[in-house]
Each structure stands twice: as structure tokens, then as C-alpha cells.
Amino acid sequence: MAEASRILQTSLIPNFHPFHKTHISQLRPAVTSFRRSPSTNIHCSSVSTTDQNTKTTPTQNAIPWGCDIDSLENASALQKWLSRSGLPDQKMTIERVEVGERGLVALKNIRKGEKLLFVPPSLVISADSEWSCVEAGEVMKKNSVPDWPLLATYLISEASLLESSRWSNYISALPRQPYSLLYWTREELDRYLEASRIRERAIERVTNVIGTYKDLRLRIFSKHPDLFPEQVFNLETFRWSFGILFSRLVRLPSMDDKFALVPWADMLNHSCEVETFLDYDKSSQGVVFTTDRPYQPGEQVFISYGKKSNGELLLSYGFVPKEGTNPSDSVELSLSLSKSDKCYKQKLEALRKHGLQASQCYPVRITGWPLELMAYAYLAVSPPSMSSQFAEMAAAASNKSGIKKDLRYPEIEEEALQFILDGCEFSISKYNKFLQQSGSLDLDVTSPKQLNRRLFLKQLAVDLCTSERRILFRSQYILRRRLRDIRSGELRALKIFNALMAILSDMSHVKGCNVTNSIE
């Protein structure tokens, strides 16, 4: 896991890309220059979110803006504001839905291949958007702050102005506290996701956010306290703004892959069964998506957030699709070199030349595992006699393109498959332990509010672990079958060899007898 101090050296972690997904991942955000009316050139004001001496946690409502995640009142106000601001008439409206709590529902018949939304660039938030607090925006851009931290700060700045900001209706409709893993406490991550590798991803993400905030505080905010008061620009508000970005930011291919928040479009919920994404349409000059199926009035309209695993969807969006419904689902399998290996140092050196470590994680899908994983397994089990091939194996274990991945070493294939199987079975044992104990995890909670939250988070964790274990079970079955085939083939070959040797022995014996008889 990257340390915050190292991350901060990379200019406010430019690695904050939809890595793990930006809302509607694979969609790339639209971004254009915006014009603001002269009346919006106002000075910043402060809004006290909480007493400075009060330590807040993700379970507390320390954010004074936004709304409950299932609120329709603020969403309705957003819809009216968008219409007044130039959003054309839509064939969809915001309603309470079964999947996603709030979503866009068809008002009329919608055909397959029809373009919807048409959100104009003037209603899109990007790094080019003008700041209500002009001085704050100038300071951020003067310091060349990357898009992600810049947008996070911009969102807080506009939110703190409440109704003075042109984006007040949009911000009021945003969730005050989503259920993404960014809002889980460390205790909750350790308690519910101990078996899943997504826990490490969540911890790393939290570390990155904290590192970004501390760097901004040190380099910029502390030098301009009048523009960035700590009562407003603090760790809790940054946790909120980054949570919004991770769950709603998009990239639009036709707009040079710039990042943006697209009001109205981010009310669309995800379905694993659709493959349609947002993009900027030059002909209509708006952000649109093209439906890949028809919708009847009253049906919820869906979009794809990208080909994400259940763990990645939980990480950024706070939900887990129903088991078996996500064709892009995967689980990260952790494998490690054995320190007792006589060639441990030599193998580790070969891995490090390609940016790899002694312990590596590879995604395993229901359909199989990547060639890189098999290459790593070959390296892990290879004997000293194959040292000349360590470099080739390590290169194939990396994600670098242009390197031959489909390596075959028949002499150690059985050992490599067994190595992967052992890794699967070890991971399965951790999932089994969690799922067996999950029923008693919350018996010590007395507060009804805390109990409801924990039960909800636990159910998400159970759903995730069940789906990830299912993939490992499938991999376990495939590995055992292949090992059985190899071993039965070896057994057949051994039997044939023994039979052949017996025949040769008999022939030799008969020939020896004839010779003896001839001598006599």
C-alpha cells in the first residue's frame, strides 16, 4: 500500500483517475469552458461544519449540505432548476426506485438506439468551471493543482456558499453521506472485509484522500486562511467531496477525456445488463447516452458504470450486484514467493525489474485467470535448474504489453497449478470463516441507529464475500480437474511404460533362454 508521504510527492496524487471507477466509469467526462453572469463574482463566506475540537467519524453527519440518500424533494428541486437553466424536456423523471433508491424512470416509450439527456456544457462542472469565489480559484490554478483535488476543493467551496452558489440546487441533491467504502470506518473495514482484498484498496483510497488534504492544507490552505478556512476545508468535507467524485465523476471521450460532474446524468443507476455510456454529442451539443434496449413508461432507465467487479462497485458506489448477475465480476487472488525458496532472492530481483514484488495480486474471473498469473506461478515453483528462465517468467508475469505471456513449461505445470490451487483454497478458508461468523458480528451493538448501519454494511460485505468466494470455488473446481487430468495422464503413461518394460524384459528373457539352449 502506498504511503501518504510518497503519494504527496506526485503533485497531489494525479493517480486519482477513475481507477477504480469514476461514476459511470468508462464514460469519460465532458468538459468545456463556462461563462458566468457578472453577478456571480462574490466573496467567500464560511460555514462552520463542526467544532474544530470535535473529532468526527464517517458515521456522523458533519456535512451541512446535501441530503439523505433517498431524498426526492431535493432531486425534484434539481430537476426544476435544470429545466430553468437550459435542460431540454426529457423523456425521464426522478423517482424512488427499487434499484438505487433514486433513479431516472421513463415517462414515455423509449426506443432502442435513442439518444437521451442532452445536458448542455453550461450545466456541467469541470476543472474549467468559474469559481464563485474568484480569488480561491486563482490560487488553486496558480499552484497547478490537478483536476481531482481541484474539483474536490471547488465542490466544497461552492457548497459552503449555500444558495449563493449557482450550483446550490445540484449540491443540495447530492447525498450527504454515500455508502461507498470511503465512508466506512477502519473498524468496519477490518470487521467486515477482512477476507476480501478490496479492503486494502479501500484503505489505500482513504490514505490517498487524507494525503491529498494534508498536502493542500500545508501548501495552500494554511497560507490563505481567509480563502480556505479550516472550518470549511477540513478532512471531513474532503472525504465528502472525494466521495462525490469517486461515485459521480465521468470522462467523456469526445471532450478530450476531461473529467466532469454531469447533473441529472448522475441520477442514472447502474445495470450489469446494459452497455451504454455517457459521451458528448457534437451534433446536439450536449452530454447524451444512446439506449441499447427499449423502455416502457414507468421502467427505470439504466446505464453502465463500466466493466467493474462487485468489489469495485462497492468501493466507489456502495452497492453489490446480485450474485451471479455481473459478468465482469472478479476476485483478487494474492500469491507470494516462498522465503524458504533457495532462489528467492534471484526470483525477487527478476520480479522487481518489471515493477513487481514478492507478493502479487491477480484478478480471477468466473471464466478463468490471466496469463500473467500463470507466469507468476511458474516462477514461484521453478527449480534452480531453470534459473536461466526466471527473467522470462517475471516479464510475462507483468502487465507490460509486447511481452510473450502464453508461456508453457510442461515439466512444472502440475506444480504451478497446485500453487494456484493452494492460493485459492487459502482465500476460500478466509471467506468461509467470515461467512460462518457473520451472524454474530453485531450482537454487541446497543444503539438502534448504529445497529441499522452495521447490519446494512454487514449485508453488503456478506453479498461481496459470497460472490467472490463463488469465483474461487469455480477456479478451485477447474484447477482440481486439470490436475486430475495431468496426474491420470501421468499414471497412464507410467502404466504404459511399465507394460513396455515388462514386455522388453520378457523378450530379453526369452532371447536369453534361446541363446542358452543354443550353447548347450
> For 111, which DSSP code?
-
Tell me the mean pLDDT per 10 residues along the chain, length 520: 30 36 34 30 36 40 78 85 92 86 93 95 94 97 96 97 94 86 93 95 96 97 97 95 94 87 94 93 92 96 95 94 94 96 97 96 94 97 97 93 86 96 97 89 63 86 96 96 87 59 58 40
pTM of the model: 0.81
Pairwise CA distance, residues 443 & 288, whole Å: 48
Q: What is residue 13's predicted lDDT score, i.e. its pLDDT?
A: 39
Please tell me the predicted confidence (pLDDT) of residue 141: 94
Cβ-contact 330, 364 below 8 angstroms: yes
Q: What is the pLDDT at residue 258?
A: 85
Q: Which residues are annotated as a binding site for S-adenosyl-L-methionine?
A: 248, 269-270
Q: Which domains does the chain have, with CATH numbers?
A: 4-88+99-110+122-253+307-317 (3.90.1410), 330-483 (3.90.1420.10)
Question: Which residues are annotated as part of the binding site?
Answer: 248, 266, 269-270, 280, 305, 317
- Taking Cα atoms as reference points, which of 279, 253, 268 lies closest to residue 317? 268
Confidence (pLDDT) at 495? 57
> Which are the contacts of 8, defined by CB distance < 8 A and separation ≥ 6?
211, 212, 214, 215
Give the Cβ contact number of residue 461 at 10 Å: 27
Q: Provide the annotated binding site for substrate.
A: 248, 266, 280, 305, 317
What pLDDT score was predicted for residue 501?
61
Supply the pLDDT for residue 43. 37
Instruction: Of 487, 488, 466, 469, give the one whose Cα is nearest residue 477.
Output: 469
Instruction: Give residue 449's Cα distance to chain centre.
Output: 28
pLDDT value at position 244?
95
- Long-range CB pairs of 139-146 (<8 Å, 24+ gap) are 139/220, 139/224, 139/227, 140/220, 143/219, 143/220, 144/11, 145/12, 145/216, 145/220, 146/11, 146/12, 146/13, 146/14, 146/16
Instruction: Please check whether residue 71 is in contact with residue 101, taking contact to mean a CB–CB distance below 8 angstroms.
Output: no
Give the separation between CA 47 and CA 27, rounded to whole angstroms.
Answer: 34
CA-CA distance, 48 to 57, in Å (whole number)? 16
pLDDT for 448 equals 66
